[in-house]
Amino acid sequence: MIAAMGKNRELGLDNKLLWKIPADMKNFVKVTKGKPIIVGRKTFESFGRPLPKRLNVVITRNKDYKYDHENVVIFHDPQAAVNFLKDEGYEESVVCGGAFIYEIYMNEIDRLYLSRVDWQGEADTFFPPFDEGKFKLDEEIEFEATDETPFWKYEVYKR
């Protein structure tokens, strides 16, 4: 699972991200490239197009939802998506949000890549609480604030 949250667990507003941190985006690409990503329909639409060089697994309740693209598969049942990925032989997939999707898969993940951004403000989507007792902090890197970006911390937790 990968997420970037603000001081009050903020994730997004009006189906957009809340900050622009190029180094964090680069990291997102590094973690997800070549692996299937699992996203809620809203997050998928917020990308504007399927993320390239990865299978985009989109979760929606809408049985009529269609997206005709070789790198996009649509599921209505979150567990069916996981079963599909296992059956296809993928060893690792990355849950990329948003809030509902994080919540659904929180108990199944082995690793959490979490960016904590020193930012607070208006948001309509929040990262759900997770049981930190069940995870071990494996890596932590701090990035100083610049004129363009707030201070942020990159953490990797392992179950």
Ligand X SMILES: NC(=O)c1ccc[n+]([C@@H]2O[C@H](COP(=O)([O-])OP(=O)(O)OC[C@H]3O[C@@H](n4cnc5c(N)ncnc54)[C@H](OP(=O)(O)O)[C@@H]3O)[C@@H](O)[C@H]2O)c1
Q: 94 or 101: whose CB is closer to ligand X?
A: 101
Q: In terms of CB distance, is 39 or 112 closer to ligand X?
A: 39
Least distance in Å: CB of 87 to ligand X?
19
User: How far apart are CB 17 and ligand X at their closest, in Å?
Assistant: 5
Residue position matching structure tokens 């082995």: 110
Least Å from the CB of residue 12 to ligand X: 2
- 43 in Cβ contact with 22 (< 8 Å): no
Residue partners of 19: CB distance under 8 A and separation at least 6: 4, 6, 117, 119, 149, 150
Q: Which is nearer to ligand X, 20 or 89 (CB)?
A: 20
CB of 147 to ligand X, least distance (A): 22
List C-alpha distances in Å: 156 to 23, 71, 92, 114, 149: 16, 27, 16, 6, 21
Which residues contribute to the site for ligand X (CB under 6 A)?
Answer: 3-4, 11-12, 15-17, 39-43, 46, 59-62, 65, 76, 78, 96-101, 104, 125
Residue 64 or residue 89: which is nearer to ligand X going by CB?
Answer: 64
75-109 as b/e, with b when 16 or more CB fall inside 10 Å?
Answer: beebeebbebbeeeeeeebbbbbbbbbbebbbeeb
